[in-house]
Amino acid sequence: MSFKNRGLAALSLLFLVHGSLAETSPTKNPQQNLAPSGRERVSINTGWRFLRSETNPDKVSYAERPGLPSTSGTEPLEPWILPAGNDFIKDPTKRHQRPAGNPKTDVVFTQKSFDDKAWETVDLPHDWAIKGPFYTGNNVPVSGGMGRLPIHGVGWYRRKITLVSEDEGKLIYLDIDGAMSYAMVWLNGNLVGGWPHPYNSFRLDLTPYLVLGDSNQLAIRLENPTESSRWYPGGGIYRNVWLTKINPVHVDQWGTYITSKEVSTQSATIDTSIQVKNKANVSSQVEVVTDVHIFDSRVGRVGQRVASFPSVTLNILGGEVQTLNGSVKIENPRLWGPPPIQRPNLYVAITRLRSRNKTMDTYETQFGIRSVIYSADQGLLVNGEHVRIQGVNQHHDLGALGAAFNVRAAERQLEVLQELGCNAIRMSHNPPAPELLELTDQMGFLVINEVFDMWQLQKTTADYHLLFSDWYEPDLRAFLRRDRNHPSVLAWSFGNEVGEQTTGESGAVLARRLHEIVREEDPTRHTTASMNAAEPNMPFPQALDIVSLNYQGEGFRDTPAYSNLPGRKTKPLYADFHKAFPEKMILSSETAATVSTRGTYIFPVTQDISAPVNDTSGGNSTLLHVSAYELYTANFGSSPDKVFAAQDKNPYVAGEFVWSGWDYLGEPTPYYSARSSYFGIIDLAGFKKDRFYLYQSRWRPDLKMAHILPHWTWPNRVGQTTPVHVFSAASEAELFLNGKSQGTKKKEGPSYRFRWDDVKYQPGELHVVTYKNNGVWAEDTVRSAGKAAKLEMQADRTVINADGNDLSFVTVKIVDDNEITVPQASNVITFSVSGAGEIIATDNGDPTDFTAFPSKERKAFNGLALAIIRSKAQKSGFINVMATAEGLKAVQVNLTSA
């Protein structure tokens, strides 16, 4: 009897569960939970064998596609992969029939007998490209757009899976949270299936191919074409991978959908839709019970029960899926909303399937109770309160860690953004890691969740347009079902700057089709697609619930500084869209595209409030640096000052998502000879650019802060004009150079910074006093630095978890004898570590630094460098981190892993 048949005959076994909250809680390392509740979810992240080849080592290909190896002489595997999406195709007649048996292609890497001892041993999440080396110069396999790292090629992952006697009778699913890309999965030499989308999560049923014991060989093949992305995609199985062991009668994958209505602080009605699946060949009777509890996200703990849905008994036939709907009222609900004016309170619904007094399945769904109104005139209202969207765009990479997801690294990014005053994230331009949305739920960020960067019209030769026609429906529905219970998700975006926005009615037809799918899966949220070219008189925006504008709101190439540039010129279009669509909320899904290099200042400084970067305007194409006066932009961009003015002139606009929050790998505009972007408010290492304080003065107007730029160490500029700018929420400011007033400035009209553009440099001290509400608001001082003398070190966290995943980010500064940061210091720093931790990466935020990220030697960039320390699994104790540099006093810091 096969494993599957034995399993379906044993329906009354008691199984183990690892509930969905505990499985992926960002505060915990994903580990097996042994609560006896009918479901077991086991991390299989460790102990993989890995091989990467820049050429095709196996004569396998998904299909005949540009950028992929030719399938000539071999059998394309696409017919075996397409059926994996069938559960997400609504029309049964459009689902795919799997060919009988295995393909004729014999792949030695999938066989149990293959010896993989010579392969590299890796743990997941894993990014095969991030260790480098970087490609430099021209005519390289991977250019600046994709980060100059070796993302391309074929990767194989192999691992044994052990099934014990307690697993008999279970269904065994493989759940992959993300794999880059064209994933294909074999078990014991049998092609199970796959999923080509590089960012979507997916599930495959391993049950028919499993045997009891430790001889089950899992093999996963990935392939990254060159020219498949416009940014750094990473490579490999870069998110978590799980085995889910479950009864044949169970809550289906992403099978709960929870919504709230009639929401107030006095009461709220909660509706549930629960899909129960029976994969056995016999019918079953089950009782379905769902309880609602308070959920404490800080510790990942289920709290007090506050409501129970009426229990229902289902008679479910073999092979059937039934949907159960229910409703319950919660008194005095704790509402979910964004800080600081609201709190991100969470609940958890625990659904149990019971038969013959035994729990057959337990499924946990984290959710929040909130109301959202998308107002054309007022903007966004959450729980009846106006919330201005102060958002940023974020790519999926984590800087020096690459695409390999790490909860702490993502949490750190969000913490710094929250300090900025940011309250919203646009996921650019792909589904995020599941744990990232758990973090946004817990921390109270609003999210625009986005799934496609292109549709049928390509942006690069080997991008998703090759898959769109076959996969857009399963990809879109899977994305929606996975994420629709997250209260942080504000709206769904099904496109970013797609070519179809200007193709007239044909593009609008496709947009309406995608809109319909979204509303079928989630009628409670609005849809959108970001437009950088569609205008109000075109049919494309008619298909959207929300008007999302990329750069068009503030206009681009529309001022004298940009007048000589080629390309489309657009006046500010907020008012035009508002007039054309008076019933639709408008937001800017991308604004600014300001570029700068942290701590770098280039003279002279433009007198304009916004200017394109070039060699005579804020740029240096030899050093590949851009001035950090935060006035310079990509050719299509605008400075923050110009963006703020446009928004203040049109107060009905719901807010903005700045391009971008953090620098990211790839897309290094304006210098494609570099490795990483210049767009971030925060650099790739996590160091704040001056622009951070400009946005903070806007987004946190009650924060008593003042920030002077530039630094004041210019030995070669004595007597030369060196403009001084100050960012603050104050209304008036007076600047002093060595105690002498340089004059008082007021913010008048559309002004968002204080400027003293005629200051002549003299070494010493700059001091600013700012005023607001008839009193002193905040002060700041910068001083000229002396010769570099020593290192200073600070860890963002001195106690980390001994789980092999937790991180401490350690910053090193080069300072003089008076502990003033030496702002242009570039000494080589050597990092070392001993004890219960290890250095996994270093960085400095310089987009031109091609030192491999795992290197323990790193030049400081403008006085700063970073080391990322990871705990060792199951090894507690002290971690000693030391930094040395020739001629400077060394420094160390002690961490604790517990």
DSSP code string of 11-24: TT----B--HHHHH
What pLDDT shows up at residue 104? Answer: 86
In terms of Cα–Cα distance, which of 25, 29, 23, 18 is closest to 801?
Answer: 29
Tokens of 60: 């396998």
DSSP for 811-842 reads EEEEE-TT--B-TT---EEEEEEEESEEEEEE
CA distances 98 to 76, 80, 319, 755, Å, are: 13, 6, 17, 67
Tokens 């194989």 sit on residue: 156
Sheet-wide strand order for 379-382: 372-375, 379-382, 385-386
Q: How far apart are CA 145 and CA 166, in angstroms?
A: 50
> How long a stretch of residues is the chain?
898
Q: How far apart are CA 824 and CA 720, in angstroms?
A: 19
User: Helices in 176-302 by DSSP H: which ranges?
Assistant: none
Q: How far apart are CA 881 and CA 877, in angstroms?
A: 13
Domain boundaries, the chain: 39-246, 249-368, 386-707, 790-897
Q: How far apart are CA 516 and CA 511, in angstroms?
A: 9
User: Helices in 9-92 by DSSP H: which ranges?
Assistant: 20-24, 78-81
Q: How far apart are CA 707 and CA 570, in angstroms?
A: 33
Q: What is the pTM of this model?
A: 0.94
List the catalytic residue out of 227, 590, 630, 656. Answer: 590
In terms of Cα–Cα distance, which of 156, 105, 108, 149 is closest to 130?
Answer: 149
Contact 425, 416 (CB under 8 A): no
Q: How far apart are CA 525 and CA 538, in angstroms?
A: 24
Residue 192 makes CB contacts below 8 A (sequence gap 6+) with: 174, 185, 186, 204, 205, 206, 209
CA dihedral 602, 607, 608, 611 (to 10 degrees): -20
What pLDDT shows up at residue 71? Answer: 59
Tokens of 470: 């076959």
What pLDDT shows up at residue 299? Answer: 84
- Look up residue 760 and give its DSSP letter: B
Cα 412 → chain centroid: 12
DSSP for 404-439 reads S--HHHHHHHHHHHHHHT--EEEE-SS---HHHHHH
Q: Kindly report the backbone phi and psi dihedral angles of residue 146, in degrees, each rounded to the nearest multiple of 5, phi listed first.
A: -105, 20
CA dihedral 207, 213, 215, 218 (to 10 degrees): 30
Residue 25 makes CB contacts below 8 A (sequence gap 6+) with: 300, 438
Task: Please report the sign of the dihedral spanned by the C-alpha atoms of residue 238, residue 244, residue 248, residue 249.
Answer: negative
- Judge if 249-368 and 790-897 fold alike in CATH terms: yes
Contact 276, 251 (CB under 8 A): yes
Question: How many CA atoms does the CB half-sphere of 754 hold within 13 Å?
Answer: 27
**How crowded is residue 35: how many other Cβ atoms within 10 Å of its Cβ?**
14
What pLDDT shows up at residue 21? Answer: 33
**How crowded is residue 332: how many other Cβ atoms within 10 Å of its Cβ?**
10
What pLDDT shows up at residue 19? Answer: 35
**How crowded is residue 740: how many other Cβ atoms within 10 Å of its Cβ?**
9
What pLDDT shows up at residue 638? Answer: 97
Q: Is 555 left (phi over 0), alpha (psi -120 to 50) or beta?
A: left
Question: How many CA atoms does the CB half-sphere of 595 hold within 13 Å?
Answer: 26
What pLDDT shows up at residue 26? Answer: 39
In terms of Cα–Cα distance, which of 769, 764, 756, 761 is closest to 728?
Answer: 769
Q: Where do the DSSP E strands lie in 487-595?
A: 489-496, 526-531, 547-550, 586-592
List the catalytic residue out of 435, 497, 500, 521. Answer: 497
Query: Helix-strand-coil percent breakdown of the chain, rounded to 5?
Result: 15, 35, 50
Question: How many CA atoms does the CB half-sphere of 684 hold within 13 Å?
Answer: 29
Q: Name 249's bridge partners.
A: 278
Please say whether the structural domain 39-246 has been given the CATH code 2.40.10.220: no
In CATH, what number does 790-897 get? 2.60.40.10
Q: How far apart are CA 84 and CA 201, in angstroms?
A: 12
The domain defined by 386-707 folds into TIM Barrel (3.20.20)
Q: Kindly report the backbone phi and psi dihedral angles of residue 693, in degrees, each rounded to the nearest multiple of 5, phi listed first.
A: -80, -25
- Look up residue 27 and give its DSSP letter: T
Tokens 């091989």 sit on residue: 51
Q: How far apart are CA 393 and CA 231, in angstroms?
A: 13
What pLDDT shows up at residue 213? Answer: 84
Sheet-wide strand order for 775-783: 740-746, 732-737, 765-772, 775-783
Using a 10 angstrom Cβ sphere, with 0-12 exposed, 13-18 middle and 19 or more buried, the burial of residue 104 is: exposed
What pLDDT shows up at residue 70? Answer: 60
Name the CA radius of gyration of the chain, rounded: 28
Residue 5 makes CB contacts below 8 A (sequence gap 6+) with: none
CA angle 182–187–188, rounded 5-degree value: 140
What pLDDT shows up at residue 749? Answer: 80
What pLDDT shows up at residue 101? Answer: 87
- Look up residue 762 and give its DSSP letter: -
Contact 363, 244 (CB under 8 A): no
Q: How far apart are CA 189 and CA 402, in angstroms?
A: 31
Question: How many CA atoms does the CB half-sphere of 199 hold within 13 Å?
Answer: 25
Can 497 be counted among the known catalytic residues?
Answer: yes
Q: Which residues of the chain have pLDDT under 70?
A: 1-36, 65-73
CA distances 165 to 13, 32, 160, 883, Å, are: 12, 18, 17, 52
Q: Where do the DSSP E strands lie in 234-320?
A: 241-246, 249-261, 267-278, 284-296, 301-308, 312-316
Helix (H, G, I), strand (E, B) or coil at 511: helix
Q: Name 51's bridge partners.
A: 156
Residue 661 makes CB contacts below 8 A (sequence gap 6+) with: 392, 393, 394, 413, 417, 420, 422, 425, 680, 681, 682
Can 590 be counted among the known catalytic residues?
Answer: yes
In CATH, what number does 249-368 get? 2.60.40.10
